[in-house]
Each structure stands twice: as structure tokens, then as C-alpha cells.
Amino acid sequence: MQKTQGATDWANPASAARADDGRKVVQFPQRGLGADAVYRQWRLSAGAARQYSMDADQIEYRFIGGQVVPVGVLELTQIDSWEVPESYLRAIRNRYLHRDAQGKVAKALAAALGCQAFIIGYHPTCTRFWIYNLTKPQGWTVCGADTYGAFLQRLPFGKG
């Protein structure tokens, strides 16, 4: 992937650095991680009873015949250790499936989009990943960056 040359004018989204195929390669870095924290805090205080809000961390999609085709809803969680005990992974899974609504919402969103939902654990170096299919649970898969990239490329169209 080649990055385009030239400075980015952050006030003009059209000037963002782009790969050869037109994708943005930088997402306004001066905003930093958690740039939507102010809105999120406001949203929590603005909701009336029985109004809920949650973001999906990522929705993977493809363009097929010029149409957007969702292929996966990903809920991301950072795992700081290289090796983690099964009890740690079980606690992550239980948080998504039982404690919080996050897993239920991710599965409902994936069903509505016609794809599958996953929990993706990632090491901060992005060299180790843990994959758990929320839609079709089969336990955790642990892999490196190349295998994870191949997993993303193979996400099935439809409910798989």
C-alpha cells in the first residue's frame, strides 16, 4: 500500500492522506483515542428511561457489485498479557454474554446486518489476537497478525 504524499489539511477531510486505492490512511490523529468521550458522557446523561446507546467497535464490510455488504460486527478488547489463563478469557466472554448488554446488542446488530458477531482481544502490539465468535460459539482462537488478517479477509458473506 502506497501512501499519498503531501500535507493533510485537518480542517478539510478531503485532503486526508490516502492509499493508492483511495482509502484514508489516517483518521484525524490530533483528536486522539476516545475523541468522542465528551459526546458519550453527554449521551449517558441525556437518555430517558429505557433509552440505551452503545457503539459497535467495528463493522467489517465489503463492496460487492457496488453494494455495501456487512461481513462482521467486532467488539474489541485489549489484552495486555501475551499469555492469559482460560479463566481470564472466560471472564471476558462472561462480560459480553452475561454481565453487560454488549454481546447481546452485537449479536442482534450482526443478525440484522446478516453477518456474525465476534469478540476480538488484541495485544497492544497487534501481534497477538484472540477471536471468539459470539454468533456461533466454539471457544477462543489465538493467532498472530498474519492469521488474524486472513481471518478478516475470510469473513463470510451472510450468516456464514
Q: Is the pLDDT at 55 greater than 80, yes or no?
A: no
Three-state secondary-structure class, residue 102: helix
pTM for this structure? 0.75
Mean pLDDT calculated for residue range 72-88: 93
Contact predicate 116/102, CB 8 Å: no
Report how far residue 27's alpha carbon sits from residue 17's, in angstroms, rounded to the nearest whole number: 9
Strand locations in the chain (E): 58-64, 67-78, 116-122, 128-133, 140-144
Report how far residue 25's alpha carbon sits from residue 16's, in angstroms, rounded to the nearest whole number: 8
pLDDT over 70, % of the chain? 74
Q: Among 111, 110, 133, which residue's Cα sits nearest to residue 56?
A: 110
Confidence of residue 10 (pLDDT cuts 50, 70, 90): very low
Report pLDDT digits (tens) over 144-158.
999 999 999 999 876
Report pLDDT digits (tens) over 90-110.
999 999 999 888 999 999 999
Q: Find the largest Cα–Cα distance for the chain.
A: 50
Confidence of residue 1 (pLDDT cuts 50, 70, 90): very low
